[in-house]
Amino acid sequence: MIRAHDVEQVRAAEADLLARLPEGALMARAAAGLGYAVLDLLGTAYGRRVLLLVGSGDNGGDALYAGALLARRGVQVEAWLLSEAAHLGGLEELRRAGGRVLPPPSMGQEPHVPTPESRGSVPNRNDFDLVVDGIVGIGGRPGLRPEATKALQAVAGIPVVAVDTPSGVDVDTGEVDGPHVTADVTVTFGTHKPCHLVDPAARACGAVHLVDIGLDLPEAPIESLQAADVAALLPRPASDAHKYTRGVVGVRAGSAAYPGAALLSVAGAACGLAGMVRYDGDAAAADRVRAAHPEVVGPGRVQAWVVGSGSDDGAEDAVRLSVADDVPLVLDADALAFAESARGRPAVLTPHAGELARMLGVERSEVEARWLAHARLAARRYDAVVLLKGRHTVVARPDGQVRVTMTGTPWLATAGAGDVLGGLIGALLAAGLDPFDAASVGSWLHGAAATQASAGGPIVASDVAAALPGLLADLMGR
């Protein structure tokens, strides 16, 4: 499990650890982890050139001490000071190790072009192999000051390693507002932070490398399931199981206009996790479902309903009938317009950004700018688990707990993929998982199956459904 803690939690844990460690020990741990991560990325030390962009506070101190470690191993290290309050101990350590330190650049000058007379032989800006972003720490506000923006523009195109978080992003919300660092790698300390998982800030993090510095942390408000977590949560049949004890999932999806939605929803539900799949929908679509899935039967009692994909004008009736059964629900697509009727019931709502915008009465751009905030808002408003589909899907409970899905491929952005996801979540609900686990496990499986089916190339939604049984077998064999 990847766990992401907010700034307040991290600060409290750091303060507790600092009280028990010798002065400077915690920063030394962080700087060593950062320095060795940079060395791994460089591949070799001698002849390499690294630039440190250094702001005030401990984040800049981490960069300076890491720079000293690099310099002692033969890296040519240069620091551009973007604040007069740079960490004094770190500056002294870098100078002792042979690193170069430049004064804060003025607003009207390019900070990367001091004259040769002022400092001797100077590498060209293009000679830097890597830039370390130590501008702003986790306590910083979104956006960057002009001096920092100017420095970043001067080294545009050079790989960047961010210290803890990319400077300029909102650490706790994953939002961005104004100029910010876009890193190739982020080296973070103690725990992940929300911005490492939640878009749009997660896009700016690149690959995230976690350095353990010994923090004792409470329960995290944001998590991301990993393969072992999913394998542990998957429902498995008991030795005396039969089709009814394994769960029956019902599908009310598709219509005469959209029969494919019925087929794809059933394909997701028929992944094998539930003991039976029932289809109760349009007669013409039912014939096609039975032809494609002869094991699927007609209406009857179920332990969960999947409603809405391609339901067209029949969505309202389908939701009403499903709610009356008093079993867990998955509401998607057309059914989301009637999500209010499922309030307080065990339900999973699966909107994309446009659908959630309509549900909340905001612009789509607002949802895309604040994924975490809007997913949590919708979960509270509808008193249901909300699965906000995106590059990093956000699954939110009404109490604010969140899981973020990190699996998937851009090829998953294809028509009908959401229908498969809805059916899959329904099967997990019918098999006994609670809505939060069903939604987050289903989302992880959906993304992993797409990646497996794609193998780097294009896929369609039915490929995702076809990949599910093999993926499940691999996970259950762990």
Cα separation, 302 vs 282, in Å, equals: 18
Q: What's the token pair of residue 218?
A: 């409470």
Question: What is the rounded end-to-end Cα distance, in angstroms, of the chain?
Answer: 16
What's the Cα-to-Cα distance from 325 to each of 22, 314, 322, 349, 433, rounded to whole Å? 62, 17, 5, 17, 18
- 3-state SS of the chain is CEEECCHHHHHHHHHHHHCCCCCCHHHHHHHHHHHHHHHHHHCCCCCCEEEEEECCHHHHHHHHHHHHHHHHCCCEEEEEECCCCCCHHHHHHHHHCCCEEECCCCCCCCCCCCCHHHHCCCCCHHHCCEEEEECCCCCCCCCCCHHHHHHHHHCCCCCEEEECCCCCECCCCCCECCCCCCCCEEEEECCECHHHHCCCHHHHCCEEEEECCCCCCCCCCEEECCHHHHHHHCCCCCCCCCCCCCCEEEEECCCCCCHHHHHHHHHHHCCCCCCEEEECCCHHHHHHHHHHCCCCECCCCCCEEEECCCCHHHHHHHHHHHHHCCCCEEECHHHHHHHHHHCCCCEEECCEHHHHHHHHCCCHHHHHHCHHHHHHHHHHHHCCEEEEECCCCEEECCCCCEEECCCCCHHHCCCCHHHHHHHHHHHHHHCCCCHHHHHHHHHHHHHHHHHHHHCCCCCCHHHHHHHHHHHHHHHHCC
Residue 393 marked in a binding site = yes
Residue 15 phi, psi (nearest 5) = -60, -40
- Residue 389 annotated as binding? yes
Residue 62 annotated in ligand binding: yes
Flag whether 275 is marked binding.
no
Does the annotation flag 361 for ligand binding? Answer: no
CB-count exposure of residue 240 (10 Å: 0-12, 13-18, 19+):
exposed
CA distance 151 to 81: 10
Residue 138 known to bind ligand = yes
Q: Confirm or deny that 332 is annotated as ligand binding.
A: no
Asked if residue 376 belongs to a known ligand binding site, the reply is: no
User: Is 148 known to sit in a ligand binding site?
Assistant: no
| 58 annotated to a ligand binding site | yes
61 is in an annotated binding site: yes
| 108 labeled binding residue | no
Instruction: Count the neighbouring beta carbons within 10 Å of the beta carbon of residue 59.
Output: 26
Annotated binding-site residue? 310: yes
CA distance 460 to 438: 23
- Is 137 flagged in the annotation as binding? yes
Which residues is 102 bridged to in the sheet? Answer: 80
390 known member of a binding site: yes
Does 133 show up as a binding residue in the annotation?
yes
5 is in an annotated binding site: no
**100, two tokens:** 């170069």
Write out the binding residues. Answer: 58-62, 133, 137-143, 164, 167, 261, 310, 352, 389-393, 418-419
Binding site as annotated, residues for K(+): 59, 133, 167
Annotated binding-site ranges for AMP: 389-393, 418
Annotated binding site for (6S)-NADPHX: 58-62, 137-143, 164, 261, 310, 352, 419
